[in-house]
């Protein structure tokens, strides 16, 4: 009888152990399923709720836009008035960051420079082969590549059947064939322009001389007159911006955003 009782106890204990294991397994499965459902819900919630909120908040903070691609695109290209100079909003962070990097924070220099070079038209292509928002020629852009600008971007010589003139057909062909050419990318072009004019100002002792001799350059009297005429125009726009208190729209733009854009569009 004792042996039978002991065996019965052992069997009971084993059954309880097995039952406990099965119960733990069931609990584990239930917890796993619940966790999976929660995780899946979190992903869906993020994708369709939080993500839209983040996009909406960022676009409203930076550009005053909505959540749709069309609305944001329209909003970021909407020009703001910087003391007489119209600038698409999307360029403001890049201007702010590169003015800080190369010009001691003097944003008016970049604004005035881009204004007289292209009027902020990133697809601008001159009759002499200068390309983009900063109007760099091929050799000038390649010099900037040597200084670390336009990294990873191709600089293509604009085809000219009758040098130095570029025909309208050649312009259209270039813009269509090479849409990703380095000088047609606004962010790295603004970066390179700020770097170049900053270096020229230090070398030649001021904005007017720096622009005429360093940024514009010349090799004969005709080119010299043109360079100084453009330098006088630049100085006039710059002084107007400064006397008007600068670009007030830039004061609410996070400077870090300009660096993020630069890293994305022109990584180093």
Instruction: Report the SS3 class of residue 81.
Output: strand
Helix axes of 138-146 and 186-204: crossing angle, nearest 10 degrees: 80
pLDDT at 79: 85
pLDDT digit string (tens) for 164-177?
899 999 999 999 99
* pLDDT value of residue 100: 93
Q: Report the alpha-carbon distance of residue 45 to residue 175 in Å, rounded.
A: 42
Q: What is the pLDDT of residues 238-263, one digit of tens each?
A: 999 999 888 888 877 765 554 555 55
- The chain-wide mean pLDDT, for the chain, equals 77
pTM, two decimal places = 0.69
Specify the higher pLDDT residue, 218 or 55: 218
pLDDT tens track for 77-122: 788 888 889 998 889 989 999 999 999 999 999 999 999 999 999 9
What's the confidence (pLDDT) of residue 13? 53
Question: Among the residues of 119-220, which ranges form H helices?
Answer: 138-146, 168-177, 186-204, 207-209
Query: Encoding tokens for residue 85?
Result: 């100079």
Residue 86 forms beta bridges with which residues? 81
d(C-alpha 131, C-alpha 150), whole Å: 13
Report pLDDT for 256: 54
Residues 39-88 have pLDDT tens digits of 444 433 334 344 443 334 344 444 444 445 454 456 667 888 888 899 98
Q: Residue 73: helix, strand or coil by DSSP?
A: helix
Q: Would strands 79-82 and 85-88 be described as parallel, antiparallel, or unpaired?
A: antiparallel
**Cβ–Cβ < 8 Å for 88, 186:** no
What does each C-alpha distance from 253 to 3, 41, 63, 67 come to in angstroms? 86, 35, 9, 19
Question: Which pLDDT score, from 0 to 100, does residue 119 have?
Answer: 94
Q: Which of 28-37, 42-51, 84-93, 228-237 has the lowest mean pLDDT?
A: 42-51
Distance CA 45, CA 22 (A): 34
CA distances from 158 to 55, 116, 130, 240 (A): 38, 21, 8, 34
């Amino acid at each position: 009888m004792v042996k039978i009782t002991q065996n019965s106890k052992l069997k009971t204990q084993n059954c309880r152990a097995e039952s406990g294991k099965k119960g733990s397994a069931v609990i584990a499965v239930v917890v796993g399923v619940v966790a999976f459902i929660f995780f899946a819900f979190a992903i869906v919630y993020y994708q369709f709720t939080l993500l839209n909120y983040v996009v909406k908040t960022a676009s409203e903070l930076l550009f005053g836009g909505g959540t749709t691609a069309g609305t944001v695109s329209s909003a970021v290209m909407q020009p703001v008035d910087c003391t007489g100079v119209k600038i698409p909003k999307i360029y403001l962070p890049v201007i702010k960051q590169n003015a800080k990097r190369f010009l001691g924070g003097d944003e008016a220099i970049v604004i005035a420079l881009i204004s007289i070079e292209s009027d902020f038209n990133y697809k601008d292509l001159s009759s002499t082969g200068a390309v983009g928002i900063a109007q760099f020629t091929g050799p000038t852009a390649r010099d900037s590549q040597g200084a670390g600008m336009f990294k990873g971007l191709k600089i293509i010589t604009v085809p000219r059947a009758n040098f130095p003139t570029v025909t309208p057909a050649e312009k259209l062909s270039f813009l269509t064939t090479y849409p990703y050419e380095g000088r047609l990318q606004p962010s790295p072009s603004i970066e390179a322009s700020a770097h170049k004019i900053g270096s020229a100002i230090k070398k030649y002792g001021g904005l007017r001389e720096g622009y005429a001799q360093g940024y514009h350059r010349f090799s004969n009297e005709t080119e010299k007159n043109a360079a100084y005429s453009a330098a006088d125009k630049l100085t006039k726009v710059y002084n107007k911006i400064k006397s008007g208190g600068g670009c007030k729209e830039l004061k609410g733009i996070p400077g870090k955003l300009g660096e993020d854009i630069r890293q994305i569009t022109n990584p180093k």
